[in-house]
Amino acid sequence: MRPFLLKLGATALTLGATLASVLYVTAHLKNPSAPLQPTVLASHQGGSVGGVTITPGVRKGDVQPVTSTYAS
């Protein structure tokens, strides 16, 4: 009888967590009118905003290109 109660409890806990997740996700749907980027970053790209300099994340370097990825 005890193993059956453990299985029943585990099943109930799993179903309860799944139901709680579904309710949370449906209550917090994506806002389709939300902007993809904050307007501050979009309007000042490559500049300085509030003392923070915004620059592109990839820069060209003067290093030799990687020709092999083999490692032993």
Residue that wins the pLDDT comparison between 65 and 4:
4
Q: Is the pLDDT of residue 10 over 70?
A: yes
Q: Is the pLDDT of residue 25 over 70?
A: yes
- What is the separation, in whole angstroms, between the first and last Cα of the chain? 55
* pLDDT over 70, % of the chain: 68
* pLDDT of 36: 66
pTM over 0.95: no
Q: What is the DSSP string of the chain?
A: -HHHHHHHHHHHHHHHHHHHHHHHHHHT---TTS-SS-HHHHHSTTSEETTEE---S----SSPPP------
* pLDDT of 42: 47
31-60 pLDDT, tens digit each: 777 766 655 544 545 555 566 766 667 777
